[in-house]
Structure 1
Amino acid sequence: MNVLFAAAEMAPFAKAGGLADVVGSLPKALRSMGVDARVVMPLHGFIERGRHNIAYAFHFQFGRRRGLADVYVHQAQRDGVPVYFLESYPFFGQGWQLYTDTEWDRQRFIAFSEFTLALAWQLAQRQGWKLDALHVHDWHTALGSFLVAHSRFDPFWQPVGTVLTIHNMGYQGDWSGGALFDAGIPARTQPELVFHGKSDNLLAIAIAYSDMITTVSPRYAEEIQYPRFGEGLEALVRWRAYGGDLMGILNGLDMERNDPATDPALPYPFSAQDLAPRPLNKTALQAQLGLPQRADVPLIGAVTRLTAQKGFDLAIPALHRLLADEDVQVIVLGSGEGYLEDGLRTLEYTYGSRMRAVIGYDAVLSQRIYAASDLFLMPSRYEPCGTSQMIAMRYGALPVVRETGGLADTVQNYDNGDAETGTGFVFLWETPEAVLGTLRWALETYRSRPQAFRRMQLRAMQTDFSWHKSAAEYVRVYERALKRHRSG
């Protein structure tokens, strides 16, 4: 089976969130199961071509409403996965931002979806690689599902199935009618789509026209069927779910790349079989960031985007109280909304000997935070899947999370006893008091029940988050998509 992933980002070439991690690791797992999975993404201007051995492959022209577009195809290999990069002025190939303003991004990604289908045809003609399934991700490439459906009477496209994966319902590419008209995209006339007034919403278009739909965790597949998380598309999602076309598949983790025993970012490698070196990572990180070097003090870490979705408007007041009352250290790495960055800076100014706020992103520092922290804070209001809690567990940091989406699917709550069950600490209410209370509970467990804490730590580190099971589920999704598509 030949599957083409179409996505706006892919690790390590370009990354803004979990989408890049999925596209960077799932195709590798699929190829180990005999699926010829390949990826197409834009050639963003900031991508380092030399560093990633990206080479020019070929060029073609594509007719659009406003004239011919020259599309230059570049190619690289990532873990044995062929990756195609599309460059076309003025859409892609320049600029230093992954995403720009909304209006321009609508136009760019509509064009990219058109170019993706053209690339698939070019690969068939030039290399004999015939597509079986197109796998689109989020609103950026969602139009591809409609374009395949619209071309269903073309012998080339008639047998091709489509799969949409929703990574985050909060971003939809809505109000795209003008850009779609300008690009000459035909009318979207699917009755449910028209009834709900969503024919100009790119994500909704893919929900209506894709053969199968997946989300990145089973819990999130349930949540988006209701208004709290459906973001206005819950009725469309329920319609597809009732037809058996929606599946929640938990994201996996690249266990080889995220291995504390071999991670080159760590000054002191360790494993579940040999935890003795782990505390040395804490004191090394404390020294690096200018905190008192104390192996005995509990360390709370976070690596996050600073947005309301991630719940840090709840966490900052809780951390104020915690730092005022407890002997604890906190390290937060992230960037985002200004008022949250300022709130963390205020915490550091107030509690400088026990708090560090590193505004920005540093890949090496993030791995060191996972390896050094005793607790890892993720108070998300909603979290489609999340990979940070899985990496934290893999590295021995017990997550403190809100019960939502993929966090609920991956973190098992502590039983408040001898740790017969549990890989972290879970709360439900979206309040600072809930965050504070759960952090106090986790710290009390760390101090007064060290054996229970260690049992959870070892259980968390040994949890299998590999892609093997999830990749097998995706194979079944592709098979169902092809069956559904070909049966009409």
Structure 2
Amino acid sequence: MNIVWATSEAAPYAKTGGLADVSYSLPYALAENGHNVSVFMPYYPQVMGDKCDDTECVYKLLGVPFGDSNEEWASIRQHKISENLSFYFIEFDRYFDRPKLYDWDGNEYSDNAERFIFLSRAIMQAVLALDIQVDVLHANDWHTALCNVYLKSDLYNSYENFSRTKSIITIHNIGYQGVFKKSNLYWTGLGWDYFNVHCFEFYDQLNLLKAGVLTSDMVTTVSPTYAEEILTRDYGFSLERALQHRAVQGKLRGILNGIDVIEWDPETDKLLPYNFSDKDLTGKAQCKAALQEEFGLPVRPDVPIYGVVSRLAHQKGLDVFIECIDDMLKEDDVQFVIIGSGETWQETALSDYAKAYPDKFGAHIGYSNKLAHLVEAGSDFFVMPSRYEPCGLNQMYSMKYGTVPIVRSTGGLEDTVNNYSAGNINKATGFKFYDLYPAALRDTLRWAGSVYRNDKPAFAKMVTNGMKMDFSWHHTAVEYEELYQHANSRF
């Protein structure tokens, strides 16, 4: 199949979150399976750095209709990964030559509607300019959702390049929908007849994600449980009715993300001071000692270490974590290490814990990839108390590194972690709790610690169970292949 993948970011070129990882790894896996994949994204010269040198201009004057009749001129750059995988970059400095992708100093760029409406229109024009015959057009999140609206519109549905195209949109996080003033419809080049409840209209505003959801042939999310959760008022962020409509039609599916099992492999990870495997965990014990030294904690093999690597945001539930561990720091023989940044009050609270309990709590405010790998490898437990988690990657990294996850049962956390019980020890890989309040999390942390201390064979079994789990992108790619074939055969 000829697959066009539309995204606002992809690693290693530009990344703010999991979307970037998916937008490289999944196209790569699909290309390895023999499909022709073209990934389109913006050219961010200030963000991409040395990666700019990997690209070359392959189309200098790309006309992009913008607004009613005005035409802007962009360029297309290419980085060819393999014979059947290319990354194409829309070069248009007015919108994309900026120090960050979506915001500056925590404030979204005021012209984000224009920027990503332009991106979607430019991607459609680039497909025509490069003469790609498209079997599948796969948009991601609100930033490129408009591509799928364009596909069904009179602006593009008569082109031979799109004559057999089926459209997919993947929701990576429904909390972000691209909601703007309805006057921004002007930039799309579409008429006001598109501003209705079956397309853009959302409480008298323009909602790009909603339009993509309602016009795509299939809608996916990044885990099966999240696909169910977003149909409810608690998780749907006011789009639950539109998603229920697609689900009733059989056009909503949850497909679990994978992880990069080359980067995240404890046997070969060059960021670790010591390597290890499920057959020889000596290096993991050495990584634990190195982690304790890194955070200035007493080097003790017998004390359980609870690790956290997270954005300090409401979604991640770290406010509940901060509240619940006070009693444990006062009363329990434990150690905590955390890497994170975000809400100022959470950063302050974590720094205060590190000062008050220097033998039990270590905090790194900010992010370090090398340190994140060490936390995954050296911790005994990894804590993820998320309010919602579309997929989550750290719980999968943790299991791969023999670190037992402690998670709230939501989204991809529910789908990937098998809860511990005495009767489930042959499959158990972690600990789950359900109600997000301090006592529930604290009790689960203590429950896990009790198993660590008092049932070492059970804990060791969970460690090896997790390390043997296969979360590679191969499985995800196969499911998307089946979805693409289903879309092409059904509609």
TM-score category by the smaller chain? over 0.9
Give me the whole-angstrom Cα distance separating, in 2, the residues matched to 1:455 and 1:198: 55
1:83 corresponds in structure 2 to 87
Alpha-carbon deviation of 1:180? 2.3
Residue pairs, 1:163-242, within 5 angstroms:
163-187=168-192, 188=194, 192-193=198-199, 197=203, 200-242=206-248
2:29 corresponds in structure 1 to 29
- 1:14 aligned to 2:14? yes
CA contact (8 A) 1:301 1:377 kept: yes
Match of 2:163, SS state, is coil
Give me the whole-angstrom Cα distance separating, in 2, the residues matched to 1:189 and 1:463: 46
Residue pairs, 1:213-362, within 5 angstroms:
213-362=219-368
Match of 2:198, SS state, is helix
Residue pairs, 1:106-185, within 5 angstroms:
106-124=113-131, 129-150=132-153, 151-185=156-190
Give me the whole-angstrom Cα distance separating, in 2, the residues matched to 1:79 and 1:171: 33
Bigger mean CA deviation after superposition, 72-81 or 313-322? 72-81
CA contact (8 A) 1:400 1:426 kept: yes
Bigger mean CA deviation after superposition, 24-33 or 385-394? 24-33
Match of 1:163, SS state, is strand
| Percent of residue pairs identical | 39
Alpha-carbon deviation of 1:182? 3.6
1:398 corresponds in structure 2 to 404
CA contact (8 A) 1:415 1:421 kept: no
Give me the whole-angstrom Cα distance separating, in 2, the residues matched to 1:194 and 1:15: 27
CA contact (8 A) 1:107 1:179 kept: yes
CA contact (8 A) 2:418 2:427 kept: yes
CA contact (8 A) 1:199 1:205 kept: no
Give me the whole-angstrom Cα distance separating, in 1, the residues matched to 2:52 and 2:171: 30
The size of the alignment, in residue pairs, is 480
Give me the whole-angstrom Cα distance separating, in 2, the residues matched to 1:132 and 1:46: 31
Alpha-carbon deviation of 1:78? 4.7
Give me the whole-angstrom Cα distance separating, in 1, the residues matched to 2:424 and 2:160: 63
CA contact (8 A) 1:49 1:55 kept: no
Alpha-carbon deviation of 1:418? 7.6
CA contact (8 A) 1:56 1:73 kept: yes
Q: 1:70 aligns with which of 56, 68, 73?
A: 73
How big is each residue's C-alpha offset from its partner over 1:449-488, in whole Å with a ceiling of 9 and x where there is no partner? 111000000000000111222211101211233334xx4x
Give me the whole-angstrom Cα distance separating, in 2, the residues matched to 1:89 and 1:61: 15
Give me the whole-angstrom Cα distance separating, in 1, the residues matched to 2:303 and 2:80: 44
Give me the whole-angstrom Cα distance separating, in 2, the residues matched to 1:270 and 1:51: 36
Give me the whole-angstrom Cα distance separating, in 1, the residues matched to 2:157 and 2:58: 29
Q: With structure 1 as the length reference, what TM-score do the two structures score?
A: 0.94
Give me the whole-angstrom Cα distance separating, in 1, the residues matched to 2:18 and 2:266: 20
Alpha-carbon deviation of 1:197? 4.8
How big is each residue's C-alpha offset from its partner over 1:339-359, in whole Å with a ceiling of 9 and x where there is no partner? 211221121121122211111
Give me the whole-angstrom Cα distance separating, in 2, the residues matched to 1:189 and 1:478: 29
CA contact (8 A) 2:180 2:205 kept: no
2:371 corresponds in structure 1 to 365
Give me the whole-angstrom Cα distance separating, in 1, the residues matched to 2:200 and 2:111: 25
Give me the whole-angstrom Cα distance separating, in 2, the residues matched to 1:335 and 1:3: 36
Bigger mean CA deviation after superposition, 214-223 or 323-332? 323-332
Give me the whole-angstrom Cα distance separating, in 2, the residues matched to 1:395 and 1:479: 35
Give me the whole-angstrom Cα distance separating, in 2, the residues matched to 1:51 and 1:387: 27
Match of 1:470, SS state, is helix
Give me the whole-angstrom Cα distance separating, in 2, the residues matched to 1:418 and 1:234: 35
Q: With structure 2 as the length reference, what TM-score do the two structures score?
A: 0.93
CA contact (8 A) 1:133 1:161 kept: yes
CA contact (8 A) 2:200 2:211 kept: no
**CA pair 403-418 structure 1, distance change in 2 beyond 3 A:** closer
**CA pair 361-153 structure 1, distance change in 2 beyond 3 A:** same
Specify every segment of 5 or more residues in structure 1 that has no aligned partner in the other structure, as ranges: none
Alpha-carbon deviation of 1:423? 0.4
Matched residue type, 1:107? E
Residue pairs, 1:469-484, within 5 angstroms:
469-484=475-490
Match of 1:90, SS state, is helix
Matched residue type, 2:140? H
Specify every segment of 5 or more residues in structure 2 that has no aligned partner in the other structure, as ranges: none
- The root-mean-square deviation of aligned C-alpha atoms, in Å, is 1.9
How big is each residue's C-alpha offset from its partner over 1:232-279, in whole Å with a ceiling of 9 and x where there is no partner? 000100100000111110111121221110111011011112112111
Give me the whole-angstrom Cα distance separating, in 2, the residues matched to 1:95 and 1:159: 36
CA contact (8 A) 1:198 1:204 kept: no
Alpha-carbon deviation of 1:57? 2.6
Give me the whole-angstrom Cα distance separating, in 2, the residues matched to 1:445 and 1:476: 41
